[in-house]
Amino acid sequence: MHLNRRLMLAAALALSLSAAPALAQTQVTIQSPIGINSHYGAGASAFKDTFERLTNNRFRVVYQRNDNEREAIESVQIGTIECNITSTGPVGNFVPETRNLDVPFLFRDTAHARGVLDSEIGQEMLGRFPARGIIAVAWLENGFRHMTNSRREVNTPADVRGLKVRTMENPVHMRAFQTLGALPTPMAFSELVPALQQGTVDGQENPIPVILNNNLNQVQRYLTLTGHVYSPALLLCSPAFVNRLSQQDRAALMQAGRDAAAANRARVTADEQTGVEELRRRGMTVVTQVDSAAFQQALAGGSAQIEQGLDSALIRRIREWRPGS
Domain membership flag for residue 250 = yes
Domain membership flag for residue 235 = yes
What pLDDT, on the 0 to 100 scale, is given for residue 120? 97
For residue 283, give its domain range: 19-319
Binned average pLDDT, 10 residues per bin, the chain of 325 residues: 45 40 78 94 98 98 94 97 95 95 95 98 97 98 97 96 93 94 92 95 96 95 97 97 98 98 97 95 95 94 90 96 87
- 26-58 as b/e: b if 16+ CB within 10 A: eebbbbbbbeeebbbbbbbbbbbebbbebbeee
For residue 50, give every residue at least 6 positions away whose Cβ sits within 8 Å of its Cβ, in sequence order, or none.
252, 255, 256, 259, 260
**Virtual torsion, Cα 199, 205, 206, 210, nearest 10 deg:** 20
Domain membership flag for residue 324 = no
Tell me the pTM.
Answer: 0.88
Domain membership flag for residue 157 = yes
Q: Provide the CATH number for the domain around residue 125.
A: 3.40.190.170
Domain membership flag for residue 13 = no
Nearest to 234 by CA among 325, 132, 105, 321: 132
**Number of domains forming the structure of the chain:** 1
Domain membership flag for residue 218 = yes
E strands in the chain: 26-32, 59-65, 83-87, 135-149, 164-167, 183-186, 203-207, 222-237, 285-287
Domain membership flag for residue 10 = no
User: Distance between CA atoms of 307 and 316, rounded to whole angstroms?
Assistant: 12
What pLDDT, on the 0 to 100 scale, is given for residue 24? 67
Question: Helix or strand or coil: residue 45?
Answer: helix
User: Distance between CA atoms of 147 and 100, rounded to whole angstroms?
Assistant: 21
Domain membership flag for residue 75 = yes
Q: Is residue 231 packed enough to be buried (19+ CB in 10 Å), middle (13-18) or exposed (0-12)?
A: buried
